[in-house]
Amino acid sequence: MGILTKTPSWIKAGPQDLEYKTYKMLGRIGQLKQQLLDGNLMGTLYEVDDTLDYLYKYDAIKVTSTDTHVDNLISMGFEWDNLELVFSTEEQIEGSDILDQLCDRSIDEFESLHAMCREEWRLIEENLTCNYVPERKYFLNDGFVFIKTPDNLMHIYHFSKPAKYFTQTWKDFKLLHIKTEEWDQKDYFKKLEEIINKKSDKIVFKIECKHNTILENNAIGVISHMIFSRLHKDYSF
């Protein structure tokens, strides 16, 4: 059985022993929990998503491979080679008696960690404000994001105009960091006036992040999602 996906390192490494694999899996869970506490929400979330994607596919393929439904399809005249295309790709998920035994527990552990990530996301999101400055532009374009954090810093980011066929989800939407400096309202308005006086059609957002001071690999992912969702709603791309 096979399907294209990223295999977690704790599955690939070491001997095929249930006690060892359980130890490695729980060890990785502990490392990811600490990573989340250290302010790396996005790195944790991406790995948890990838791991659950692998485990869900493994579990589904495991069930399907022993399902009498497959035998019934073959008996009805479907060729095995055609059925195999549904589950086969250039990278294989290899069956394992050890992972068969550990799969359900692993899913429970990583789903629990995913819930912790969602809670952290929620705390960040509910303490963000996001507004167009000075108003929403008529056409979708490139833009700038000014982010004020509780440590009195101003973080300036740039984003490119989302392309319909290349920016299909918020994960494809990137905020490019330009600079970080002490927050000064006079300086902020000066930068804003420079953009306006150039009669620029750039879109400008002001974000106030009231809960979290760690942006990179953390709150910036939530902010990217928020801005992408706003642009997608307002400009229907």
> For the chain, which domains are there?
9-124 (no CATH), 129-235 (3.40.1530)
**pLDDT confidence of residue 27:** 97
The crossing angle, in degrees rounded to 10, of helices 41-65 and 220-235 is 80
Decide if pLDDT at 75 tops 60: no
Decide if pLDDT at 36 tops 80: yes
**Where is pLDDT greater, at 179 or 74?**
179
Task: Write the single-letter amino acid at 125.
Answer: E
In the predicted model, what is the mean pLDDT of residues 7-27? 93
- Tens digit of each residue's pLDDT (9 = 90 or more) over 161-217: 998 767 778 989 999 999 999 999 999 999 999 888 887 899 999 999 998 789 999
**pLDDT confidence of residue 13:** 86
Which range among 2-6, 44-48, 97-101 shows the weakest confidence by mean pLDDT?
2-6
pTM of the model: 0.81
Decide if pLDDT at 4 tops 80: no
**pLDDT confidence of residue 2:** 44
- Please return the burial class of 2, using the count of CB atoms within 10 Å of its CB with bins 0-12, 13-18 and 19+: middle
Computed over every residue of the chain, the mean pLDDT equals 87
Which range among 54-63, 90-99, 141-150 shows the weakest confidence by mean pLDDT?
90-99
Decide if pLDDT at 76 tops 60: no
**pLDDT confidence of residue 93:** 64
Tokens of 63: 């069930």
User: Which one, of 148, 156, 152, 169, lies nearest residue 204 by Cα?
Assistant: 156
Decide if pLDDT at 87 tops 60: no
CA distances from 22 to 19, 52, 58 (A): 5, 16, 17
